Chain A
């Protein structure tokens, strides 16, 4: 059976969604990941330059750290804080992407996928809130 005849009867509507998502992804994921990389580069170079024993970096064996610790560290140990900020940025980008996706589905009055993307966004936000 040739599926070309069974594909969506209104192909323009999904393409609108795809186009909107595509534009957003290129903007946010592209520039966002670049910004996170730059933050990490600055933080890591700073950390490596500080080097030596006695600094916080000697706990590289991995001291458990939470998001509050990371933000508080910006004031007390900026190099470490910047590195943490880069990580927080990276793991926040997919949440932003999902929020934008829900917004696009809402704007196109796609209730089913607004529900689906809203559910995924809720799971991510609950996890992020701890």
Chain B
């Protein structure tokens, strides 16, 4: 397939894109895009959903960027923020490397399939899918946090060949928590679908991955979160390379988004992390609801 080709015709910029003029001049475009990416990554880290949930809607609805190009830029932003943010989790020993690698088998294949399929899916369907997935993710965020809990029963008949076990010290419980992943095979299709959705929508889908590891595999939230960070960069990379080869990863768009995302995720982790509370999360949820509604509306109104 020729670069940039796809079955659907490129969707023209939405007529009401109010900030499209900012992209006409690099002197305003570069700082604007960096600021958008930085704020998105910081806010995304606050709700545990990554910056893509804000970057893609802002680029498409406010800046008038074509949807696939916005997703390509967002994917690079996810890689940049994940690679800069993953190191502390690994250093703390919360990341289960075997678990992350096991999950990546499905998520990288799913991400590759999604990136290859994006040119064949009508853009309006992608807008609607984005809004729908965002609403589902919000519903997952409203689920009460289970925090550090007792390890699950281990005798579920699953062979221990994959050794998806581990332990970490939980300062809240003041003890070492041992865990073992249940039903790893059941989690693989979910992770594959999450990888595909991630590459179609340009969002990390961290909340969905973490919840899957929590519900299906019975892992402690801390381990699930750290291992999800570990896999996000690899999954997004698999998709980003396809986007690059397909001509859907414009340097002038992705460069500022990548740098802004890297800076924003650091800010979000180090500064906003101290402010994290249910109140702040509650304040951001209505914003996410508006974003989801706007994306659904754009999908319905798209030609």
B16 at interface by CB-CB < 8 Å: no
Closest chain B CB from A7 CB (angstroms): 5
Main secondary structure of the interface of B (DSSP, over half): helix
Q: Are A61 and B251 in contact (CB under 8 A)?
A: no
Given the known interface contacts A36-B80, A97-B234, the answer about A18 and B93 at a Cβ–Cβ threshold of 8 Å is: yes
Contacts of B4 in A (CB 8 A): 64
Which of B179, B242, B258 is close to A90, meaning CB atoms less than 8 Å apart? B258
B76 at interface by CB-CB < 8 Å: yes
Contacts of A66 in B (CB 8 A): 3, 244-245, 247
Contacts of A58 in B (CB 8 A): 24, 26
Which of B40-48, B101-109, B207-215, B283-291 binds A?
B101-109
Contacts of A55 in B (CB 8 A): 26
Number of interface residues of A (CB under 8 A): 67
Residue of B nearest to A127 (CB): B241
**Chain A contact residues, CB within 8 Å of chain B:** 1, 3-4, 6-8, 14, 17-18, 21-22, 25-26, 29-30, 32-33, 36-37, 40-41, 43-44, 47-48, 50-53, 55, 57-67, 70, 73, 80, 83-84, 86-87, 90-91, 93-95, 97-98, 101, 112-113, 116-117, 119-120, 123-124, 127-128, 130
Which of B132-140, B161-169, B273-281, B295-303 binds A?
B161-169
Contacts of B263 in A (CB 8 A): 37
Residues 153-171 of chain B: 1 if any A CB is under 8 Å from the residue's CB, otherwise 0?
1110000011101110000
Cα A87 to Cα B108 with chains together (Å): 19
47-75 of chain B: CB within 8 A of chain A: 65-66, 69
Q: Are B79 and A124 in contact (CB under 8 A)?
A: no
